[in-house]
Amino acid sequence: MKALVLAAGGGMNMAPFFPTRPKSMIHVAGRPVLHRTLQMLRESGFGEVCVVVGPNGRLITEFFGAGRSVDMKISYATQGKRGGIGRAVLAAKSRFKAGENFLLAYSDVVAEENLVSSVMEAFRLSDKPAASICLTDDPAGFGNVYLDDAMNITRIIEKPGRGGKGNYVLAGMFVLPYSFFGTLEKNGGDMAKALAALVRAEGLKGAIWEKGWVDLVHPWEVLLANRMVMGTWHDAVVHESIKLRDAKIKGPVHIEENVEIRSGAVIEGPAFIGRGSYIGNNALIRKNSSIGAGSVVGFGAEIKNSVIFGRTKIGRLSFIGDSVIGENVEIGSGTMTTNYDVNGADIKVRLDKALLGTGMKKLGAFAGDGAHLGNGHNIAPGAVIPPGCVVGHNITHPKRGV
Amino acid sequence: MCGISGIVSGENVAAKLLSSIQNLEYRGYDSCGMAVLNARGPVVRKNVGHVADVAEKELFLSLEGVTGIAHTRWATHGGVTPANAHPHLSCDKTLAIVHNGIISNYARLKAALIKRRHKFASETDSEVIAHLVEENRKKGAPLERAFTSALKDLEGSFAVAMVSIEAPHRIYCGKHESPLILGLGKNEFYVGSDFNAFIEHTKDAVVMDDGEYAVVSDHGYEVKRIRDGKPVRKTIMRIDWDSEASRKGGFPHYMLKEIYEQPETVRKALSVSEDSIVGLAKGLTGAKRAYLTGVGTTYYAAKVGQYYFASEADLGVPAASSDEFLENSPLAKDDFVLAVSQSGETYDTLRLVREAKKRGAKTAAVVNVVGSTLSRLVDQVVLQGSGPEICVISTKAALAQMIILMRVAIEAGRMNGRLTPAEKRRKTAQLEALPALISGFLNEYSGLFHTIAQKHASRHNWLFMGRGRFYPVALETALKVKEVAYLHAEGMPAGFLKHGALALIDDTLMSAMFVPGESEKELHRMTMGSVAEINARGGRVIGFHFSKSLRGSKLFEDQVLLPSAPPLTSPLVALLAGQLLSYFLATVLGRDVDKPRSLAKSVTVA
């Protein structure tokens, strides 16, 4: 069986990481989420995959190429101007053969363990099209399903909004027959309508997923996904090239090759440090921090529960807490992310003109790719720093003489 | 509680034996083993652990032979060790046995055998059987008689199966007070503790009775009396359970599968014949004293029944837990005992029913397992028809039992004039609306309980409370949370708060309150009073209620507005809420949902 992975998605809800990258290239636990999806497919025996990319697809094709790094054969299809999941699926139609089943995966979904094997088991048991389903605190924005006593999906209600209660929702992983492309075409590329037609005609088996699952819609969900994935780590994996001198590591810490760790640094796992990074003297890397390849963490800086995509500089004596920092970002010395409200209120984030609740009491900032903040800033909780934004030093100019 | 299995066939039996004890694993799962006959004798492989793990470790599938027996164990005598796992061999290793039950005189038998230089490899009561047969053979008895005279020496309960090199195409089996069933295939015959042992291969079965034994071969079977070897004519039963129904069907756990089967099990309970319901109602109303009984979840089902007999028929029918019954309830001739049991093999309930019969009382039962001991023991039986319940934790069977008790209560009310025919029709219609209500509830509310479970799974202490018919629901929910989530939980009438439990309230204790609908005005008011009491002491309450007006109430830290249901059936909706909450608490905490530690599906021992 071949797999079809949708990797073109993005939206203003994912600011400041949109539009510079699709959601599939957001990093979680040291890797783009698409990398995790492809690894799960490989583990489940898939050798061939078609990835549908969108406007900034070059980021993906350059990263994965023909697929050698994930030991798969990857081909790419490009989604045209018309958006929507159904259109993205149709973009790959020519890569699949009539009469075959295929696995469809959304790559902006992060699962705690291998979601592919769960949907494949349901498919093999029932010999019917299958869909992963799971429970979520807020089903309003998903396809809500109704099940019968044999776990067949009997009805799908797409994004019920306020009418949503506590249904199982579609979790972004399906096994579908080739004829589904035709069903999509007949329904004008509308995924919800096509799935409803499939439920009526051939049936769709639910594969209940009970482990962790995060759908990346908003930037703070990156932190939830990161913590969930790192929570599954039990062993420390430190590359043989690493010299720890008198730095300390505790717990499941993953450190790639050629990372320089200076004396006095403390790294508390689970944590990830990507290849070629530099961790300065007395730096403190706390739990659930992921520092992407080629990054620099200066002297005495503290990183806590944060995701840094890579090639980013965190200046000396800074604090980055509960934050997501893109690629090629520079954070000046002594710059702090303030990550709580003194009254203990939930932190809100302004995205695309709307102020959204996050349900989180500790939340720092989100800095888009290529942003540059000077020295001495104190960034408000929930702040969104647009990609490429440059903010000078926060410095005083003492007057000359008296 | 253990599961035994045996197969005689024209082809290799190892794979079928393995799947057979996997299907029986819910009867006990601390260790297991298998013996297959080859040209030199029985080859035994056994160890401790779940069946799949032991099978892999001990290479069950590499055994070759056409005759074999297997066992999955739940320890009673002797610790959980490889030596104590079954099958057990005789000293000369020519024969092997598996056993389910308890041999009460084993110590004496064992001492006598040791005097005769028998060497015991285990601490089990079961091993004496192998040595007894061997001893009888030494004295010159032919194998069949050696087997039956060994059985005659046993006191207590047993279902035994034996293979011997002397009869390479035969299994000898016999029973007393432990279940044993034969499965009849084509050139392949089966022995098992219940249908699940062979349901994948045949639907034709013969239920063995106490004091019977059978010689089973690959071309037939003979059932005889242990006492004198006289043949017994048995009727062949056809099992209409679908083998697919015995499996998980893609659900992550049997428990969730069985929760989702409840609309269907309610329909089945509603289709139990009117005659059977009338029969039970007559028995109850005509008796001098009538009782309901069960133990564990079935006791709570009986307790639910007690409330409905009061409300629907003005009848006082006390529910007593079968393990305590004889100590707390007078029982004599002309009394009536209605027992509730899923397996029909529950030790405490069987013991009580046997005693009730001895004293001349009338007995009846609501049972799920066809052909079970209880179903054959009582004067009247109602088979609830819920299908196999594999998860150790009872959900669908318990709900079906409650429905049947409600039907009996409504019928009794009609008979004694408490309910008019029109009222009976209205209430019956409310019951008939339940499957659709449940189906919608399961689909639309699961996520709400999942969210609550995720948020509160770290709380170690829970108090479940309700008033009126919601009290037994609180009891049952607390039991579920204990057995499947391993959390400390108590069920209590909300009225008890003032009489002690309020002293316990602080912000570490999680209270959950089942609040009746507003149409039950007084009960609703009093229950909400209890919620206020807990709040006043700084306690935290999760509310399960039916009132739109309570939405957003600050009295609840979390709450679920349940779908509206009439007072008759609303406690059952609350029961489902409790099932879902306990299921998700267990999955969030990573518990072994279908086989909770230290528990077995039916408790056949004292």
Q: Is A132 on the interface with B (CB under 8 A)?
A: no
Q: B54 to each of B15, B21, B60, B123, B465, how far by Cα in Å?
A: 14, 12, 8, 20, 43
The predicted-structure confidence for B408-456, as pLDDT tens digits, reads as follows 999 999 999 999 999 999 999 999 999 999 999 999 999 999 999 999 9
Check A167 against B250: CB less than 8 A apart.
no
The span from the CA of B484 to the CA of B481, in Å, is: 6
Contact A135 B587 (CB under 8 A): no
Domain A2-217 has CATH 3.90.550.10: yes
Q: How far is CA B133 from CA B37, B43, B99, B139, B147, in A?
A: 17, 18, 14, 10, 5
Q: How many angstroms separate the CA atoms of A35 and A32, rounded?
A: 5
Residues of chain B with Cβ-Cβ distance to A205 below 8 Å are: 250
- Residue B450 with chain A: CB contacts under 8 Å: 135, 166
Residue of A nearest to B585 (CA): A210
Which DSSP helix (H) or strand (E) runs through B320? strand B319-321
B261, B439, B444: residue with CB nearest A165: B444
Provide the strand spans (E) within B375-460.
380-383
Shortest CA distance to A217 belongs to which of A11, A8, A5, A6? Answer: A11
Contact B448 A165 (CB under 8 A): yes
* Cβ contact B446–A167 (<8 Å): yes
Q: Select from B252, B443, B449 the Cβ nearest to the Cβ of A147.
A: B443
Angle at B95 between CA B93 and CA B101, to 5 degrees: 120
Check if B601 is active-site.
yes
**DSSP 3-state of B69:** strand
Complex-level ipTM: 0.84
Q: Are residues B86 and B209 in the same domain?
A: yes
* Residues B422 and B449 placed together within one structural domain of the fold: no
Cα B155 to Cα B48, B74, B108, distances in angstroms? 27, 20, 11
Residues B107 and B196 in one domain: yes
Per-residue confidence (pLDDT) for residue A398, from 0 to 100: 84
Residues on chain A touching B442 (C-beta within 8 angstroms): 147
Return the pLDDT at A193: 94
Domain ranges, residue B20: 3-246
Whole-model pTM over 0.80: no
d(CA A57, CA A44): 25
The CB density around residue B398, as the number of other CB atoms within 10 Å, is: 30
Residues B425, B485: one domain?
no
Residue A387 has pLDDT above 60, yes or no: yes
A166 interfacial to chain B (CB closer than 8 Å): yes
Q: Specify whether B228 is located in the same domain as B260.
A: no
Smallest Cβ–Cβ distance between A168 and the set B250, B439, B446 belongs to B446
Q: Could you tell me if B194 and B256 lie in one domain? A: no
Q: State how many domains chain B has.
A: 3
Classify residue B478: in a domain, yes or no.
Answer: yes
What residues does each domain of chain A span? 2-217, 237-391
Cis peptide before B571 (omega within 30 of 0): no
- Whether residue B145 is found in the same domain as residue B285: no
Mutate to test the interface with B, among A210, A214, A228, A232 (most CBs of B within 10 A): A210
Assess if residue B182 is contained within a domain: yes
pLDDT(A211) > 50: yes
Distance from CA of A149 to the nearest CA of B (A): 5
Contact B249 A168 (CB under 8 A): no
From B257, B303, B427, B601, active-site residue: B601
Same domain, B184 and B262: no
Task: Please give, rounded to a whole number of angstroms, the shortest distance from the CA of B540 to a CA of chain A.
Answer: 20
Single residue among B184, B214, B246 that ends a domain in this structure: B246
Strand A307-310 relative to strand A289-291: parallel, antiparallel, unpaired? parallel
Q: Which two tokens stand for residue A280?
A: 């300065």
Query: What is the SS3 string spanning B3-61?
Result: EEEEEEECCCCHHHHHHHHHHCHHHCCCEEEEEEEECCEEEEEEEECCHHHHHHHCCHH
**Record: contact A208-B251, CB cut-off 8 A:** yes
Find the catalytic residue in B2, B32, B173, B391. Answer: B2
* In-domain check, residue B438: no
Of A122, A146, A210, the CB nearest to B587: A210
Contact B446 A146 (CB under 8 A): no
Report the SS3 class of residue A155. Answer: strand
Query: Are B158 and B284 contained in the same domain?
Result: no
Q: Cα distance from A104 to chain B (closest Cα, Å)? A: 19
The domain boundary residue, chosen from B200, B222, B246: B246
Residue B437 lies in a domain: no
Tokens of B57: 């470790």
pLDDT digits (tens, 9 = 90+) for A6-36: 999 887 899 999 889 999 999 999 999 999 9
Residue A68: CB partners within 8 Å, gap ≥ 6?
none
Residue A380: predicted pLDDT:
97
* Domain-ending residue, one of B246, B263, B282: B246
CA distances, B606 to each of B101, B302, B603 (Å): 11, 21, 8
pLDDT band at A156; cut points 50, 70, 90: very high
Nearest to B67 by CA among B37, B90, B44, B34: B37
3-state secondary structure B552-605: CCCCCCEEEECCCCCCCCHHHHHHHHHHHHHHHHHHHCCCCCCCCCCCCCCCCC
Res B242: pLDDT: 52
If asked whether residues B180 and B323 sit together in one domain, one would say: no
Task: Note whether A167 contacts B444, CB cutoff 8 Å.
Answer: yes
Residues A149, B250: C-beta atoms closer than 8 Å:
no
Q: Does A165 touch chain B (CB under 8 A)?
A: yes
Whether B173 is catalytic is no
Query: How do beta strands B290-294 and B319-321 pair?
Result: parallel
Q: How far A348 CA lies from chain B's nearest CA (Å)? A: 21
Q: Which residue in B261, B444, B451 is closest to A137 by CB distance?
A: B451
| Surface-to-core class of residue B528, CB atoms within 10 Å of its CB (0-12 exposed, 13-18 middle, 19+ buried) | buried
> What is the residue type of A23?
K
Q: Which residues of B touch A168 (CB under 8 A)?
A: 443, 446-447
Radius of gyration for chain B, computed over Cα atoms and rounded to the nearest angstrom: 26
Mutate to test the interface with B, among A144, A149, A210 (most CBs of B within 10 A): A149
Are B292 and B427 in the same domain?
yes
Would you tell me which CATH number, out of the four given (1.10.1740.10, 2.160.10.10, 2.40.160.60, 3.40.50.10440), belongs to the domain A237-391?
2.160.10.10
Long-range own/partner contacts, residues A154-159 (CB < 8 A, 24 or more apart): A154/A199, A155/A196, A155/A199, A156/A192, A156/A195, A156/A196, A156/A199, A158/A192
What's the rounded mean pLDDT across residues A267-296?
97
Nearest to A136 among B263, B264, B447 (CB): B447
**Same domain, yes or no: B297 and B393:** yes
Best CA proximity match to B88, nearest among B64, B63, B118: B118
User: Which domain CATH number covers B597?
Assistant: 3.40.50.10490
Give every residue of chain B whose pLDDT is below 50, as ranges: 243-246
Lowest-confidence region among A214-218, A293-297, B283-287, B382-386 = B382-386
Q: Which CATH number goes with the domain that contains B106?
A: 3.60.20.10
Q: Which of A139, A149, A205 is the closest to B263 by Cβ? A: A149
What b/e string do you get for A91-115 counting C-beta neighbours within 10 Å, with b at 16 or more? bbbebbeeeebbbbbbbbbbbbebb
Q: Is residue A62 within 8 angstroms of chain B, CB to CB? A: no
